[in-house]
Amino acid sequence: MPQQIVKRRSRGFICVNAHPEGCRRNVERQIAAIEGSSDASLPPVPGETFVPHNVLVIGASTGYGLASRITAAWGYDARTLGVFFERPPDDSKTATAGYYNTVAFDEYAKRDGLFAAHLNGDAFSDECKREAMALIRRDLAPLDLVIYSLASPKRTDPRTGVVHSSALKPIGQPYSNRTIELDSEKVVEVALPPASEKEIADTVAVMGGEDWRMWMDALLSEGLLAAGACTVAYSYIGPELTWPIYRDGTIGRAKNDLDNTALAIREMLAPKLDGRALISVNKAVVTQASAAIPVVPLYLSLLLKVMRRKGLEESPIEQMRRLFADFLTVNQPIESAGADEHGRIRLDDREMREDVQREVAALWPEVTTENLLALTDFAEFRKEFRNLFGFEVEGVDYDAPVETDVSW
Ligand code: NAD
């Protein structure tokens, strides 16, 4: 395909195309953030700390998974396998952002002599797991770190063939609150009916821990995990303001299931490998997954404003640098490294600070369509969202033609 000029195309708020050069810059910036880290514990002292050498990241092409993979590779020289589900380019369409992110990841990994393998497929399927196992056995075994960072609207159960679709709804009673209607950029009242039992079960089937467990079962039974191997999945809790739709809603049920799965995997790994299974509760950030949750865009627009003003804001790469440096590679029980009473790593500590949440809650009822840009950081939210697709990225000439038909 000849080079072409790529302008952002949107359906409502969502971008339906992606800019390869913008995506490359995003990846480059994240690598630079890790390489330029002044963090004393990066890189860790060999022998005294847990150093991940061989890392599998499931959900590795965008958001927290991509940031985890970059941290492992450029922070610790780890060999990585990334699993993700992204659309390649074709004659009429650009690829998805996660695809171009991976092209860039691969390019920089080759430049820096880092081993990187990629698997583009449905991580929920047996076939993808089989392919991953073969690849790991050949190039990456034994794994010492497995990051589970999938966010998906649906999952086909590999045993039954049933397609489960998640529903982001409250449980038990209807919920209404203000939100930003992203397509019209208006502040509106949203009313959500409570989820049915089936919707709750479906959401747990998609975003709960069953698939994580299947991955870990397969890796353990095939002997592909190192002694002391660690696995981490990501969760979110958030403030009371969002609990009816998040923590106490369908997605919260799925995250509870993920918590329980961590315990089950821990029991499975501990006796055989002295391995660990952890939950990291991350900060709310702008990703394709989070923008889809009702109420979250308004919450994030306010949170960005408050946290930026206080100098507390962190991007996914900064969160992941902290996860690795302060928790994963520290050779002490997770409790003494600062886990909560349920043994979860809390990277949301700054977001959950009392003063931050007090200010967000005070601004919340004041926001209207008219003062949206003044009172909140919606402009930054929108920019960060477009950045995810490689648009409005600093330093990119959007009038210059780019090659869209690229691969790793
Ligand atoms: P994201 O949308 O940026 O990334 C999702 C990843 O999953 C992508 O790499 C995508 O390709 C991959 N994926 C989706 N379906 C797949 C499939 N069937 N097979 C293989 N790969 C598939 O999402 P994110 O926001 O980074 O979320 C990752 C995790 O972090 C989720 O568990 C989420 O709940 C959690 N989390 C997110 C936030 C937030 O604010 N974004 C906060 C805390 C925790």
Using CA atoms, how far residue 128 sits from 63, 135, 203, 225, 369, in Å, is 21, 11, 22, 18, 45
Confidence (pTM): 0.96
Produce one character per residue of 29-60: b if its CB has 16 or more CB atoms within 10 Å, e if not: bbbebbeebeeeebebeeeebbbbebbbbbbb
Q: Which of 148, 234, 315 to mutate to test the pocket of ligand 1 (most atoms within 8 A of CB)?
A: 234
Looking at residue 40, its pLDDT comes to 46
Rounded to 10 deg, the angle between the 354-363 and 296-309 helix axes is 120
Beta bridge partners of 377: none
Residue 391 CA to residue 398 CA, distance in Å, equals: 8
Residue whose CA is closest, atom 34 of ligand 1? 235
Determine how many CB atoms are found less than 10 A away from the CB of residue 331: 13
Determine how many CB atoms are found less than 10 A away from the CB of residue 338: 12
Residue whose CA is closest, atom 1 of ligand 1? 63
CA 369 to chain centroid, in Å, comes to 29
Q: Which of 15, 68, 84, 301 to mutate to test the pocket of ligand 1 (most atoms within 8 A of CB)?
A: 84
Q: Quick one: which atom of ligand 1 is closest to the CA of 258?
A: 32
Q: Quick one: which atom of ligand 1 is closest to the CA of 84?
A: 21
Name all residues whose Cβ lies below 6 A of ligand 1. Answer: 59-65, 83-86, 98, 122-124, 149-152, 234-236, 282, 284-285, 287-290
Residue 141, Cβ density class (10 Å: 0-12 exposed, 13-18 middle, ≥19 buried): middle
Residue whose CA is closest, atom 26 of ligand 1? 63
Looking at residue 252, its pLDDT comes to 97
Give the tokens for residue 47.
Answer: 């022998």
Q: Within a 13 Å sphere around the CA of 29, how many CA atoms are in the beta-carbon half?
A: 17
Element (H, E) at 346: strand 345-346
Residue 35 CA to residue 165 CA, distance in Å, equals: 39
Are 190 and 178 contacting, i.e. CB atoms less than 8 angstroms apart? yes
Annotated catalytic residue: which of 175, 246, 299, 398? Answer: 246
Give the tokens for residue 22.
Answer: 């913008």
Query: How far is ligand 1, taken at its centre, from the CA of residue 1, in Å?
Result: 30
What does the H/E/C string look like for 25-60? Answer: HHHHHHHHHHHCCCCCCCCCCECCECCCCEEEEECC
Query: How far is ligand 1, taken at its centre, from the CA of residue 399, in Å?
Result: 31
Using CA atoms, how far residue 255 sits from 16, 38, 124, 195, 343, in Å, is 29, 33, 17, 16, 14
Are 99 and 86 contacting, i.e. CB atoms less than 8 angstroms apart? yes
Closest CA to 284 of 247, 249, 318, 238: 238
Q: Quick one: which atom of ligand 1 is closest to the CA of 65?
A: 26
- The position carrying tokens 């039974």 is 221
In this structure, what are the phi and psi dihedrals at residue 145, rounded to the nearest 5 degrees?
Answer: -145, 130
What is the three-class DSSP state of 7? coil
pLDDT tens track, the chain, 408 positions: 669 999 999 888 889 999 999 999 999 999 999 998 765 445 555 556 788 999 999 999 999 999 999 999 999 999 999 999 999 999 889 999 999 999 999 999 999 999 999 999 999 999 999 999 999 999 999 999 999 999 999 999 999 999 999 999 999 999 999 999 888 899 999 899 999 999 999 999 999 999 999 999 999 999 999 999 999 999 999 999 899 999 999 999 999 999 999 999 999 999 989 999 999 999 999 998 888 888 899 999 999 999 999 999 999 999 999 999 999 998 777 777 778 988 999 999 999 999 999 999 999 999 999 999 999 999 999 999 999 999 999 999 999 999 999 999
Is 246 one of the catalytic residues? yes
Residue 74 CA to residue 324 CA, distance in Å, equals: 12
What is the three-class DSSP state of 235? strand
Give the CA dihedral 200, 123, 92, 63, nearest 10 degrees.
Answer: 70
- What CATH superfamily classification does 10-166+197-293+313-350 receive? NAD(P)-binding Rossmann-like Domain (3.40.50.720)
The ranges assigned to domains in the chain are 10-166+197-293+313-350
